[in-house]
């Protein structure tokens, strides 16, 4: 890998291919795979990642908002795209770019059918989201009859899939809850299908669900964080490769005398003579202000350098007293092996999802393939 000469987020598309292969190996024959590429493909680059996945043969993409799907279509991605959280104001954008909305409530179903009728649409693909216990969005099980009634009176839409979402598929201590969700989804989706004249796809497993509940793959599964290198448990993390490495350099080295402070508001006071290194990234780049003051570390020449003082907007400081290094040397903020985003997140009681999606667009992306 090239050495950093500035702050960069290096995206390893070979690692993405590896993760895609590993997750695909867990699927039963004929099961489709939906890749979740929302939030700039979890902080990387949705277009680059989606193009790689399309070349690998992924069956579906999922994005959060219509604008994310529009970006993919504008870059010539042709794979079907599910919009997980469409909004009424974006229905025209959804149809214009051949996106497929998740319909999650009676109100949303009424509004999309009305829109489809006004546009003279026929059999436009929609996806019915059922709430089985996440209690975020989705039709309640009791609303399935409403779906059936509305769908039976129109030919403007067709149900491409029925899906739900597991609340804690990585938490095997609460396996009973996930199993109840799966059972409720099976019952509700079968009832809906039995009242349609065709058979939509069904899917409810996310990355952890794929790994922990292979019996519930139905027709398709969804993977987000797994594609980016995390399996939501220490054992599965060993089988995946993080695709993103945040690198920077040492801008300046200081010798700090005993009693001197570092950074804003005396956030660090040296208890003895020491050395600090200043790095060109800060909270405007996605390094949360919860870091610093001993929380978090970076890696320099394979050694951990704790963050000290308060994180600045564009800079942060680390303790390099016991690390031989020079100005201009490369620094790994997070990446693979012993400095993953998950480990980086743990020091502020966060998760890998939050860390990798927080990296600012101003941080230069470099792609390795």
Q: Domain limits of the chain? A: 31-227, 244-368
CA distances from 278 to 238, 262, 282, 340 (A): 32, 10, 10, 21
- pLDDT at 1 exceeding the cut of 70: no
Average pLDDT over the chain reads 95
pLDDT, mean of residues 212-234: 94
Of residues 7 and 236, the one with the higher pLDDT is 7
- Can you tell me the distance from the alpha carbon of 125 to that of 67, in angstroms, rounded to the nearest whole number? 18
Residue 323: φ, ψ to 5°: -125, 110
Can you read off the two tokens belonging to residue 227?
């594609």
What percent of the chain is predicted at pLDDT more than 90?
91
Q: Quick one: pLDDT band at residue 67, thresholds 50, 70, 90?
A: very high
Can you read off the two tokens belonging to residue 263?
């950074």
pLDDT of amino acid 36: 98
pLDDT of amino acid 31: 98
Q: What angle, 0 to 180 degrees and rounded to 10, lies between the N-to-C axes of helices 46-56 and 13-25?
A: 50
Q: Is 264 a catalytic residue?
A: yes
3-state secondary structure of 158: strand
pLDDT of amino acid 302: 94
Report the sign of the C-alpha dihedral through residues 233, 237, 239, 240, in that order.
Answer: positive
pLDDT of amino acid 70: 98
Among residues 192, 182, 183, 181, which one has the least CA distance to residue 143? 192
pLDDT, mean of residues 304-320: 97
Of residues 343 and 320, the one with the higher pLDDT is 320
Strand duo 100-103 + 8-12: pairing: unpaired
pLDDT, mean of residues 350-364: 94
- Can you tell me the distance from the alpha carbon of 293 to that of 61, in angstroms, rounded to the nearest whole number? 40
- pLDDT at 222 exceeding the cut of 90: yes
The rounded radius of gyration (Å) of the Cα atoms in the chain is: 24
CA 188 to centroid of chain Cα atoms: 28
- pLDDT at 11 exceeding the cut of 90: yes
pLDDT of amino acid 189: 97
350 Cβ contact partners less than 8 Å away, ≥ 6 residues apart: 288, 290
pLDDT, mean of residues 247-260: 97
Q: Cβ–Cβ contacts within 10 Å for residue 266, how many?
A: 11
- Give me the residue label for tokens 């959280």: 85
What percent of the chain is predicted at pLDDT more than 70?
99
pLDDT of amino acid 341: 93
- pLDDT at 338 exceeding the cut of 80: no
| Candidate from 68-77, 109-118, 337-346 with smallest mean pLDDT | 337-346
pLDDT, mean of residues 211-236: 93
pLDDT of amino acid 204: 97
Give, as one character, the DSSP assignment of residue 101.
E
What is the architecture of the domain spanning 31-227?
Alpha-Beta Barrel (3.20)
Q: Which CATH superfamily is domain 244-368 in?
A: Lyase, Ornithine Decarboxylase; Chain A, domain 1 (2.40.37.10)
Q: Is 93 a catalytic residue?
A: no
Half-sphere exposure of 315 (CA within 13 A, CB side): 13
pTM of the model: 0.94
Can you read off the two tokens belonging to residue 322?
């016991």
3-state secondary structure of 181: helix
- Can you tell me the distance from the alpha carbon of 116 to that of 113, in angstroms, rounded to the nearest whole number? 5
Strand duo 220-223 + 32-36: pairing: parallel
The catalytic residue among 38, 48, 52, 160 is 38
The catalytic residue among 122, 149, 257, 264 is 264
pLDDT, mean of residues 25-44: 97
Q: Quick one: pLDDT band at residue 171, thresholds 50, 70, 90?
A: confident
Q: Quick one: pLDDT band at residue 25, thresholds 50, 70, 90?
A: very high
pLDDT, mean of residues 348-359: 93
| Candidate from 10-19, 29-38, 337-346 with smallest mean pLDDT | 337-346
pLDDT of amino acid 232: 78
Among residues 367, 82, 55, which one has the least CA distance to residue 224? 82
């Amino acid at each position: 890998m090239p050495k950093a000469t500035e702050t960069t987020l290096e995206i390893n598309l070979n690692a993405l291919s590896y993760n895609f292969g590993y997750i695909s190996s867990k699927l039963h024959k004929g099961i489709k795979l939906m890749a979740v590429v929302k939030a700039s493909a979890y902080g990387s680059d949705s277009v680059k990642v989606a193009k790689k996945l399309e070349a690998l043969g992924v069956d579906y993409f999922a994005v959060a908002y219509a604008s994310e799907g529009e970006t993919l279509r504008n870059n010539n991605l042709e794979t079907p795209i599910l919009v997980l959280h469409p909004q009424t104001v974006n229905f025209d954008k959804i149809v214009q770019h051949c996106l497929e909305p998740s319909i999650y409530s009676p109100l949303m179903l009424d509004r999309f059918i009305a829109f489809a009728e006004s546009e003279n649409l026929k059999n436009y693909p929609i996806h019915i989201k059922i709430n089985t216990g996440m209690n975020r969005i989705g039709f309640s099980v009791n609303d399935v009859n409403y779906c059936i009634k509305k769908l039976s009176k129109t030919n403007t839409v067709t149900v491409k899939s029925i899906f739900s979402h597991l609340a804690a598929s990585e938490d095997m201590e609460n396996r009973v809850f996930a199993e109840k969700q799966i059972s409720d989804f099976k019952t509700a989706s079968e009832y809906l299908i039995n009242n349609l004249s065709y058979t939509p796809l069904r899917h409810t497993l996310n990355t952890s669900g794929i790994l922990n509940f292979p019996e519930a793959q139905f027709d398709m599964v969804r993977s987000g964080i797994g594609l980016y290198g995390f399996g939501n448990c220490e054992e599965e993390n060993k089988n995946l490769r993080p695709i993103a490495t945040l690198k920077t350099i040492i801008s300046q080295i200081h010798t700090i005398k005993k009693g001197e402070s570092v950074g804003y508001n005396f956030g660090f006071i040296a208890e003895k003579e020491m050395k600090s290194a200043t790095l060109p990234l800060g909270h405007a780049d996605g390094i949360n202000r919860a870091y610093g003051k001993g929380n978090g570390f970076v890696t320099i020449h394979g050694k951990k350098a704790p963050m000290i003082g308060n994180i600045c907007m564009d800079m942060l400081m680390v303790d390099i007293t016991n690390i031989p290094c020079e100005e201009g040397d490369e620094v790994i903020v997070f990446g693979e092996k012993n400095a993953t985003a998950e480990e980086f997140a743990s020091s502020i009681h966060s998760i890998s999802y939050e860390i990798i999606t927080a990296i600012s667009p101003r941080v230069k992306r470099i792609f390795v393939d």
